[in-house]
Structure 1
Amino acid sequence: MEILVLLLSYLLGSIPIGLWIARLYNIDITKVGSGNIGATNIQRNIGWGPALVVLAFDIFKGGLALYIGRQFGLTDFYLAACALLAVLGHNYSLFLKFKGGKGVATSIGTLLVMNPLIGLGTAILAVGIMYLTRFVSAGSMMGGIAAVMLLIYHGDPLWQIVTASGLALLILWTHRDNFKRLQSGTERRIGTPKDTPK
């Protein structure tokens, strides 16, 4: 049973809602802007409405993976695996030849189910940083790190700290190019003009 739930977690994460939403507008989102299927690239190339739909679904699928694991009574080890596999599914989707997004929204979804207080606090902090800096990448990376620190400070279970650490590392890895652009001053801010095709 555990293996089936883990596979389901990966498949849920793999659902490329951003790709499908963009197709409604006759756009292949993998070939415009950053090529990313997440809400940020959707917002820059299609608009806020579609981006919010993608954001909500990506959060939902991450939370659903962990929720299903809990309903089947999985141990903490397998719950951690469910969370990580959902995000890995988003980042390396089975439906996109193992390409995908950066896993931020899906990570938030898993955190909200794993520890609602920490998940909500992390989301608020990340959005606050994005608002102040107008850099989605900065808010995403700082949010990932903050989640780990908040769990440690709050004295939460070790499996939650380990899971959040894994999620933070994945976020930092998928944002490695963004980090370089932040250092060089070439990172795009929220609200920049529509991107051009690659």
Structure 2
Amino acid sequence: MASVAIILLLAYLFGSVPAGVLVARTYGVDIRKVGSGNIGATNVLRTLGLGPALVVAFFDVFKGGIAVLIARAVGLEGWLLGGVALAAVLGHNYSLFLGFRGGKGVATSFGTLLFLDPALALWTLPIGLSVMLLTRYVSAGSMTGGVAATVLALALGRPPWLAATVALMALLIFWTHRENLRRLQAGTERRLGERVEVGGA
């Protein structure tokens, strides 16, 4: 049990590494003080452009995947593997290095799913992206992706631990997007492609 606790802690710490903050800092920007204040790739895209956003997205995806790889390498499977995936996402959302604040967990959730079940992740991706591109709302695509992954996990007869893990990640996505939901309802949500001036909001 001690080894399981260590792996869960490592997964949380991997997830806690705030790539958005670190990348933006190289440009002299505190990403938490511009745009939406979120540390994820979407706010980096609006603030710093495509290149930095891709770096952040890549890192946020694969830090979740690395946690799953390490867990599998030491023999964890089933519910424990699902716990590792959730620990990585919680690390991103509530980073130890940011006073237990963080991002919205979409890229890290996708990264863990990509390594837990590549086929399920790759079926989910075009659904989320299609909604995002059609509506130009990243938040709408993210939440749709969470729902789609859960439905597909159940429809494809994935093991209960995996379906439960995916459902919990989807719930976390909805929780971290609760303000986005309010803005969508009010018609004030920012659309994909809108830029934010670094010197302003």
TM-score of the pair, normalised by structure 1 = 0.98
- Counterpart of 2:88? 86
Measured in 1, the distance between the counterparts of 2:110 and 2:155 equals 19
Residue number among 22, 39, 58 corresponding to 2:60 in the alignment: 58
Q: Could you list the runs of 5+ residues in structure 2 that have no partner in the other structure?
A: none
Q: Deviations over 1:152-185 (max 9, x none)?
A: 0000100000000110000000000101111111
Measured in 2, the distance between the counterparts of 1:167 and 1:73 equals 23
- Counterpart of 1:184? 186
Percent of matched pairs sharing the same residue: 56
* Residue 154 of structure 2 is aligned to residue 152 of structure 1: yes
Measured in 2, the distance between the counterparts of 1:19 and 1:130 equals 24
Paired residues of 2:79 and 2:162 also in contact (CA < 8 A): no
Paired residues of 1:130 and 1:139 also in contact (CA < 8 A): yes
Measured in 1, the distance between the counterparts of 2:113 and 2:126 equals 13
The one-letter code matched in structure 1 to 2:167 is: S
Q: Aligned residues, how many?
A: 198
- Counterpart of 2:170? 168
* Residue 6 of structure 2 is aligned to residue 7 of structure 1: no
- The 5 Å alignment of 1:33-48 reads 33-48=35-50
* Residue 70 of structure 2 is aligned to residue 68 of structure 1: yes
Instruction: Please identify runs of 4+ aligned residues in structure 1 that moved more than 3 A.
Output: 195-198
Measured in 2, the distance between the counterparts of 1:169 and 1:68 equals 25
TM-score of the pair, normalised by structure 2 = 0.96
- Counterpart of 2:118? 116
Q: Deviations over 1:16-42 (max 9, x none)?
A: 011010011100001111111100000
Q: CA RMSD in A?
A: 1.0
Paired residues of 2:21 and 2:39 also in contact (CA < 8 A): yes
3-state secondary structure, aligned to 1:129:
helix
Q: Deviations over 1:33-89 (max 9, x none)?
A: 111110000000000110011001100001111111111111312111100010000
Measured in 2, the distance between the counterparts of 1:7 and 1:87 equals 12
Aligned-pair CA distance for 1:191:
0.8
